[in-house]
Amino acid sequence: MASWGNLQPLSTELYTLLQYGLFLVLFFFLPFLGVIIGGSTVSLLLSFLGKEKRDPAYLRFSKEMMETVMTGKSALFMFGLVPVLLVWFIYARIFFDATPLPWHFWSAVLAVLVAGFALLHVYRSAWRRPPSPSPFHVMSGAAGLLALFFAFFLFSQGYGVLFNPEKLSLLREHIRFFLSWNAVVKYLLFLAVFFGMTGGGILLLGGRSAEGKEAPDASYRGLVRDIGAKLTFLATLVLPVFVLLDLVTLPEIALSATVFATAAIVLLLSLAVCLILSLPSGKKEGGPGARIATLYVLIFLAVLVHDHAAVGNAYQDRIASLNMQAKAVEAEHAKEAPREEPAAGGKTAAETGKAVFETNCAGCHQFDIRVVGPPLNEVVPKYAGDVEKLKGFIRNPVKVNPDLPSMPNLGLPEEEIDAVARYLIGRVKPGGSP
């Protein structure tokens, strides 16, 4: 269990907001980058095949792919670079420290992305000068594509840190500990989704002119849709493998019913894609493109929800610790402020102690199960009924178990410390049960 004793106070509401902010950033960033990676890969392969087979249809589709996926510079900046800066900021707030993933790491991701986009633009611009790109321009495109693959690999490794908070202490010692098998699996999982989305887009839009009308050449339309179907099928075939490997390589603390349920949804949607591709498309205009594209949007959303749930599970102790520390700060401020004596309400000492416990302690302690701290049925009997000794610990807590978070000083007034200590001693019998 990671120790969060040195965390700064942060409200759980802001922490949750950061999680959902990361979800939204990834929702726009990953598909944008994925379509560029998938489309550029298809374009380069078709360019090579077109020259080998001397088939102008391959070269034509290669050109159309690059014109479609490589957008303007402003879009590349807004959706390809700015999200990395936002993720950098979110990570710094979640970790409360830039050390686990320093600015050098994020600068490297940005630099490689910029280089990849620039080289792919060189390759795209070469298509505007007939007859076809020279070997130099093709090599520039290949280098740009490799740069994007590498940049996304780095990003995936940084993304993988979120699922394993145990590694944070190691990362503070050496950056090489950010490598993990689960991050490699997520890299491959997202690549499969990227190529599946690209194939679905080809099925939906392939063979159409710039005005959105189908090209008059039926054989060309058939070639485009055949490429889209094969690409989608291959990506969907390997997708379940990576989903299962992701479950195997995730840390145990990140697993939950929601994580397994979303993984099952991805498997079912993948099966639906394969079934649609295996059925005759008939003579309907557009074929199965719309259905495949819709299913892959749902697959991508399911993968994001899957990861969002896993991060929430992995950091539930941290969130509880943040909540506990926030309460400690509030209690300290309340202690400094003038206190008004409550009106006599006939409360017994036990009722007062129970109220103090439920307000300040129940978020991290329960009697029979471990939450953030250990079960009180195991801890309180160690004081052997010594109220003063327990009061001393509540007044000035110290770290006892290295595997558990440090209990903060709640700054309770003396009468509340006495009440909650007597309540706990009275609630837990010497045998260890309430």
pLDDT tier, 355 (very low <50, low <70, confident <90, very high otherwise): confident
2: pLDDT strictly greater than 70 = no
Q: Is 41 helix (H, G, I), strand (E, B) or coil?
A: helix
d(CA 342, CA 338): 13
The answer to whether residues 140 and 238 belong to one domain is: yes
Find all residues with CB under 8 Å of 296, minimum gap 6, and list them. 193, 196, 197, 200, 232, 273
The answer to whether residues 159 and 33 belong to one domain is: yes
18: pLDDT strictly greater than 70 = yes
Go through 325-356 and write b for each residue having 16 or more CB atoms within 10 A of its CB, e for each that does not: bbbbeebbeeeeeeeeeeeeeeeeeeebbbeb
> Does the residue 252 lie in any domain?
yes
> Does the residue 325 lie in any domain?
no
Give per-residue pLDDT as tens, 202-261. 998 865 544 445 555 778 888 888 999 999 999 999 999 999 999 999 988 888 999 999
Provide the Cα torsion 44, 47, 52, 53; round to 10°.
130
The answer to whether residues 87 and 211 belong to one domain is: yes
pTM (2 decimals)? 0.73
The domain spanning residue 410 has which CATH number?
Answer: 1.10.760.10
The answer to whether residues 268 and 137 belong to one domain is: yes
pLDDT tier, 433 (very low <50, low <70, confident <90, very high otherwise): very low
- What is the average pLDDT across 71-91? 89
Contacts 24+ apart (CB under 8 A), 171-180: 171/99, 171/100, 171/101, 172/97, 172/99, 172/100, 175/101, 175/102, 175/105, 178/100, 178/101, 178/105, 180/249
Q: Is 248 helix (H, G, I), strand (E, B) or coil?
A: helix
Q: What is the pLDDT of residue 204?
A: 87
421: pLDDT strictly greater than 70 = yes
Give per-residue pLDDT as tens, 324-353. 655 555 555 555 544 444 444 445 667 788
pLDDT tier, 19 (very low <50, low <70, confident <90, very high otherwise): confident
> Does the residue 433 lie in any domain?
no
Strand partners, 365: 370
147: pLDDT strictly greater than 70 = yes
- What is the average pLDDT across 143-168? 89
The answer to whether residues 294 and 205 belong to one domain is: yes
Query: What token pair was written down for 295?
Result: 């299913």
- What is the average pLDDT across 96-114? 81
What does pLDDT average to over the chain? Answer: 81
The answer to whether residues 313 and 242 belong to one domain is: yes
Give per-residue pLDDT as tens, 359-416. 778 767 777 777 667 888 888 888 878 888 888 888 888 777 766 667 777 778 888 8
Q: What is the pLDDT of residue 432?
A: 43
pLDDT tier, 49 (very low <50, low <70, confident <90, very high otherwise): confident
Sheet strands (E) in 310-361: none
The answer to whether residues 208 and 356 belong to one domain is: no
The answer to whether residues 353 and 304 belong to one domain is: no
Contact 198, 42 (CB under 8 A): yes
Side chain identity at residue 408, one-letter code:
P
The answer to whether residues 359 and 302 belong to one domain is: no
Q: What is the pLDDT of residue 332?
A: 54
Q: What is the pLDDT of residue 345?
A: 42
Contact 312, 259 (CB under 8 A): no
> Does the residue 367 lie in any domain?
yes
Going by the DSSP 8-state scheme, the letter that residue 252 receives in this structure is G
> Does the residue 311 lie in any domain?
yes
Give per-residue pLDDT as tens, 108-134. 999 999 999 999 999 998 887 767 778
Q: What is the pLDDT of residue 267?
A: 96
> Does the residue 388 lie in any domain?
yes
Contact 63, 125 (CB under 8 A): no
Share of the chain above pLDDT 70, in %: 79
How far, in whole angstroms, is CA 33 from its chain's centroid?
A: 16
The answer to whether residues 289 and 357 belong to one domain is: no
- Number of H helices and E strands in the chain, helices first, is 16, 0
**Tally of structural domains, the chain:** 2
Query: What token pair was written down for 153?
Result: 């690999």
The answer to whether residues 304 and 194 belong to one domain is: yes
320: pLDDT strictly greater than 70 = no
Q: What is the pLDDT of residue 343?
A: 40
- What is the average pLDDT across 75-100? 81
Domain hosting 404: range is: 348-427
Q: Is 214 helix (H, G, I), strand (E, B) or coil?
A: strand
Q: What is the pLDDT of residue 281?
A: 61
The answer to whether residues 405 and 259 belong to one domain is: no
